[in-house]
Amino acid sequence: MTLEVLWEKLADITTKSGMKCGRSDQCNADCCRPSVSGSEPGVTPPEIELINGFLAKQRGFRFYEAGEDSCKFLDKNGKCRIYAVRPIDCRVHFCIDDSLASRPNHKAANLVEDYHSRHDVEFMETELIDSFKFSGEH
């Protein structure tokens, strides 16, 4: 299954199950700020490749626009600057109303787990935020 097909499946599942941000009026994209959420999205080499391809077409892309404590792709308005190619972990996280915990959905979780099990996700998990140098980054 290609990443694009997986994205479509995950979008279908989350839409049909009505998953959406439960505390959207209480947060400032907190899930993209490890210092607030206490976690980082996992990312795999094929996802990195797609992100790099996306970045290679951008002009004047700015990393860490939202501050050093955020994901390097978060802009100052709380929007993901690589939204079209964001990792699958970022596609399935929707907070419960009063918590940063994600709404459970076993179908989405199984698909993510299956994909991660076939890739080197552990290596990239800590690299997304801090040390991996993406295309155009210094």
* Cα-to-chain-centroid distance, residue 124: 13
Residue 127 touching ligand SF4 (CB under 6 A): no
User: Judged by CB, which is closer to ligand SF4: 14, or 41?
Assistant: 41
Residue 126 touching ligand SF4 (CB under 6 A): no
Least Cβ distance, residue 87 to ligand SF4 (angstroms) = 6
Least Cβ distance, residue 100 to ligand SF4 (angstroms) = 6
Residue 82 touching ligand SF4 (CB under 6 A): yes
Least Cβ distance, residue 24 to ligand SF4 (angstroms) = 5
3-state helix, strand, coil in the chain (%, to 5): 45, 5, 50
The H-assigned helical ranges of the chain are 3-16, 34-37, 45-56, 88-91, 106-117, 121-125
Residue 19 touching ligand SF4 (CB under 6 A): no
User: Which pair of tokens denotes residue 90?
Assistant: 């970022």
User: Which pair of tokens denotes residue 130?
Assistant: 């801090």
**Which of 10, 13, 32, 50 is the binder for ligand SF4 (CB under 6 A)?**
32
User: Could you say which residues in the range 47-76 bind ligand SF4, by CB under 6 A?
Assistant: 71, 73-74
Residue of 75, 90, 106, 73 whose CA lies nearest to 39? 90
Q: Determine the Cα angle at 68 with ends 38 and 43, to 5°.
A: 55
Query: Contact positions toward ligand SF4, by CB under 6 A?
Result: 21-24, 27, 29-32, 41, 71, 73-74, 80, 82, 86-87, 90, 93-95, 100
